[in-house]
């Protein structure tokens, strides 16, 4: 039996790219996928309980993955994120958010795995007509002042009656921001006590989202048919690619 050891890290949006790539790679190589999660980052994101977690790697496989040697090789050699084989085991370490990385797999395999992700996450076709304004600020900005300016700028142009979601609800208590919310009759969709999976399910309800390149909105777009404009060329490319291959929704 051969193995592929996937290192997951980051929030749910990032993890879904890594899990999808790992599953596709293991299927293509006909090997068993094993997985280790690394939360040694500032935000210490834990592995989401869904999608299903693969079998943990052995001690030595975990130790090799922990060295980040695959990533070090990629950086020192100027190579893009790619599988690295050591002692007969494949090690997968990266974000895997580029379209060309998935072009190595069959469209049918990608479609099947995207359907499985939608099923595991409980994602249904988007049905909510109100425009959702997704204000991802907490880990997107270096300081509170920059986050505040971003929110004020975004809220200044939203349509009346829009729904607003943010990962920093305390910021909405700012007097100027609160005034903007009231002037636009905006409705706060609170996610204060929600898990990342719940946040994704909420995002996926909306037919249209005004976002700032959150990876979670990529998955709402791909799995539920939500319309999102991506400013980041990388996210636009892969979201468009997956959207064609993803679950067939009536409004696609």
Distance CA 29, CA 3 (A): 9
Helical segments of the chain, H only:
12-29, 59-66, 69-76, 99-102, 107-121, 144-155, 175-183, 196-203, 215-224, 233-245
- Tell me, what's the pLDDT at 225? 95
- Alpha carbon distances (Å) from 252 to 186, 230, 245: 27, 17, 11
Residues 134-186: tens digit of each pLDDT: 998 866 777 788 889 999 999 999 999 999 999 899 999 999 999 999 999 99
Quick one: tokens of 124? 């249904």
- Tell me, what's the pLDDT at 72? 81
Which range, of 13-22, 132-141, 193-202, 203-212, averages the lowest pLDDT? Answer: 132-141
Residues 109-130: tens digit of each pLDDT: 999 999 999 999 999 999 999 9
Q: 68, 66, 58: which is closest to 89 by C-alpha?
A: 58
Domain residue extents for the chain: 3-105, 132-245
pLDDT at 132 over 60: yes
Residues 220-249: tens digit of each pLDDT: 999 999 999 999 999 999 999 999 999 876
Residues 78-104: tens digit of each pLDDT: 667 889 999 999 999 999 999 999 999
In three-state secondary structure terms, 31 is coil
- Tell me, what's the pLDDT at 76? 74
Quick one: tokens of 252? 């696609």
Burial of residue 236, with CB atoms counted within 10 A of its CB: 0-12 exposed, 13-18 middle, 19 or more buried: middle
Sequence-distant (6+) residues with CB within 8 A of 86 are 64, 69
Distance CA 158, CA 130 (A): 12
Cα dihedral across residues 218, 27, 38, 80: positive or negative: negative
Q: Which residue has the higher pLDDT, 43 or 105?
A: 105
pTM: 0.92
Specify the DSSP class assigned to residue 184: T
The angle subtended at Cα 55 by Cα 93 and Cα 83, nearest 5°, is: 25
């Amino acid at each position: 039996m051969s193995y592929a050891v996937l290192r997951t890290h980051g929030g749910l949006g990032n993890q879904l790219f890594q899990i999808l790539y790992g599953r596709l790679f293991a299927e293509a190589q006909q090997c068993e996928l094993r997985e280790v999660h690394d939360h040694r980052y500032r935000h210490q994101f834990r592995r989401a309980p869904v999608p299903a977690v693969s079998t943990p790697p052995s001690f030595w496989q975990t130790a090799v993955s922990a060295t980040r040697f695959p990533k070090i090789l990629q950086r020192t050699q100027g190579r893009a994120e790619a599988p690295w084989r050591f002692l007969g085991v494949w090690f997968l370490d990266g974000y895997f958010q580029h379209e060309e990385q998935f072009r190595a797999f069959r469209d049918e395999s990608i479609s099947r795995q995207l359907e499985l992700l939608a099923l595991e996450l409980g994602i249904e076709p988007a049905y909510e007509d109100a425009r959702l304004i997704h204000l991802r600020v907490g880990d997107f900005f270096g300081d509170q002042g920059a986050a505040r300016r971003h929110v004020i700028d975004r809220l200044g142009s939203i349509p009346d009656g829009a729904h607003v979601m943010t990962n920093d609800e305390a910021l909405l208590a700012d007097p100027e921001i609160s005034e903007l919310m009231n002037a636009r009759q905006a409705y706060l969709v609170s996610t204060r006590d929600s898990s990342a999976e719940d946040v994704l399910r909420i995002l996926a309800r909306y037919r249209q989202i005004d976002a700032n390149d959150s990876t979670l909105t990529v998955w709402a777009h791909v799995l539920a048919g939500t319309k999102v404009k991506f400013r980041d060329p990388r996210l636009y490319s892969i979201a468009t690619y997956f959207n064609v291959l993803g679950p067939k929704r009536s409004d696609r």
